[in-house]
Every structure is written in structure tokens, then in C-alpha cells.
Amino acid sequence: MKNTSHSSLPEKSGLHPRNKHRSRYDFEQLITICPDLKPFVSINQFNIETIDFTNPLAVKTLNQALLKQFYKIDIWDIPQNYLCPPIPGRADYIHNIADILASSNGGIIPKGKNVTVLDIGVGANCIYPLLGHQEYGWNFIGSDIDSLSIKVANQIVESNSLSKFIECRQQSNSSCFFKGILKPNEIIDITMCNPPFHSSAAEAKSGTERKWKNLGHQKNIKSSLNFGGQSNELWCKGGEQTFITKMIEESASFASSCLWFTSLVSKSENLPAIYNALKKVNVLDVKTITMSQGSKSSRLVAWTFLTDTQHIQWSLKRWKA
């Protein structure tokens, strides 16, 4: 098993070089595009325009403005208490998997409808499929165990006339990742997943409290948890280590149906167990990419069961036909 590690950390901000959010937000322009954002914008102690990132409505409205300005997504909304993702970090994952696909295609990023991505845990926000399609023209399958998330995600897709490119499917078995989602003989070029990284509700609560403290705010527990997302979005039994290990185990059954499997890893201490799980299922190559946004860092781990020759054959058949 090859195990290569590299970093995609531009010196300026830590975001990917192709990320459209490497500079400060231009709130004047964003307000022009989305006037609803104006009441949430204020000047901080450094004389810089910003919003209160502990206010879920402010964050949601900022996302709506960013999606309109940079990705031509005109209609985007999520139910109260569902996870509202920071777009710059989500965009980084998309650009990094584009680089992974390029590594199988002579350094050239494959674009367009011949590329199909599976987003495991798409959420009501549907953010990865929206960004990935608008940036690279890829097709997406989004999966989730939550029926409302699937309903809302598909509504967002339909409202933006993207149903030909993005399909969200409900996973009826919470212990499965690919089974029950992929149809017989369905081929996927790459998967992605932002797993729940806490192991219990108590751990999720503690993590949320730390986040507020780091932001310099004291919020009551109820409101902070409501802002943080649904339970299945935040935690699962065994945390992200167990979640990703199970995903790796199941991925072996789909070794020839997918070129690359990937997952975010929030906690670096989980990497040894994840590498061990990959070794057990005899993957042929592993890539680890470090990603950073502000003071927060995470890792993207990618694995494949196919040989270099099979990667070349895959790109010729799928992307250059």
C-alpha cells in the first residue's frame, strides 16, 4: 500500500489556490446581490466589516449571498436547526478531490457530466453537490439517512434547475454507506464524506461550547446546539473513527465500482486507526491532504483499490470517450 502525504496550504490563507474565498468578503457587493444580508453586517473592533458568526440566520444569509455571487445558486434555504456549513471550507474539499481525480488523468482535472461523485451525508444544505457541479460540471448523487434532509436537498436542486445533474437518495439502512444507494452496475468516479466527528451528544455539546468560547461568545447550551446541526450530523456511536472504519470496510465490496473513495478526518489522532483499516482491506494507494481554514485544520484521506494501469484505463474510458 502506497501512502503519500501532501499539503494544499497556500501561504496566504490556507485555502486551496482555486478557492474563490481566499480574500475577505466584499460585503458591499454581497449586500447588492443579497439585500437581506445588510442588517447582519457590522464593524468589529478591528474596523472590519463582518457578521456575528454565532447567529444562525446571519450565517445562512451570508451563505445565500455567497452562493448567488460565486456559484449562480439563486435559491437556497434550510430548515431551522439543520447544519449551516461554512462555504469556503466546503469549497476546499471540492477542489482537493478535483486534484485527486487529476492525478488519475495525467494531471488534468476531468470536468463535465462524465464525472459522477457520491456525497455520503449530503445534508439538507446539499452544499457539496451544488459547489461541485457549478465549479466543474460534475454529476452528483447525494445520500442521507434523514428523510427531511433528502426532501429539502432535492427541493434546492429542483429550484435551481439542476435535477439533471444532482440526485439525492435516502439511505434506509443507517449502518450502510454504499449498499442501498448505488444501483446495480452503477459506476462512481469518487466519493466524499464529512462524517459526524463526535462520539456522543455530550461530546458534541462540549465541542459546541468550545466553539462559542473561541469566538468570544457565551451562549446557552440549547441555542448553541440548535445552531450546530441535527444529532446525526454531529455525532454517532464511536465517533468519526468508527464511522470511517466502517466505510472503509464496506468500500472493499465496491472496489471496482469506484476509482477513489475519500473522507474528511477532523481529528488527527484517528489517522493511525484509519490507516490500519485501509491496510486490512488491501487498498493500493492512500493520499492524505491537509486542509486549513483560519485556525482550524482537518485532513482529507483518499484511497483506491485499483492499479496505476487501471487508473489510466478508467480515465480513457470514462473521461476521454
Q: What would the pLDDT profile of 284-297 be if each residue is shown by its tens digit?
A: 999 999 998 777 78
Q: Residue 56 carries which side chain, given as an amino acid letter?
A: P
Please provide the average confidence, as pLDDT, over all residues in the chain: 88
Residues near 42 by Cβ (< 8 Å), separated by ≥ 6? 49, 50, 51, 52
Give the model's pLDDT for residue 204: 45
Length of the chain counted residue by residue: 321
Instruction: Return the minimum-mean-pLDDT range out of 13-22, 88-97, 109-118.
Output: 13-22
- Least Cα distance to 265 among 231, 232, 288 occurs for 288
Give the model's pLDDT for residue 227: 43
Distance separating alpha carbons of residues 142 and 181, to the nearest angstrom: 9
Give the model's pLDDT for residue 9: 35
Question: Can you list the domains of the chain with their CATH numbers?
Answer: 2-18+81-318 (3.40.50.150)
Q: Is the pLDDT reported for residue 250 higher than 70?
A: yes
Higher pLDDT, 131 or 8: 131
Q: Is the pLDDT reported for residue 100 higher than 60?
A: yes
Band of the pLDDT at 321, cuts 50, 70, 90? low
Check: CB of residue 128 under 8 Å from CB of residue 140: yes
Distance separating alpha carbons of residues 186 and 141, to the nearest angstrom: 11
Which stretches does DSSP call E strand in 240-309? 258-265, 285-293, 296-304
Give the model's pLDDT for residue 293: 78
- For the stretch 309-317, contacts whose Cβ atoms lie closer than 8 Å and that sit 24 or more positions apart, written own/partner, are 311/104, 311/259, 312/104, 314/104, 314/259, 315/104, 315/105, 315/106, 315/110
Question: Cell 429539502 belongs to which residue?
Answer: 152
Give the model's pLDDT for residue 200: 44
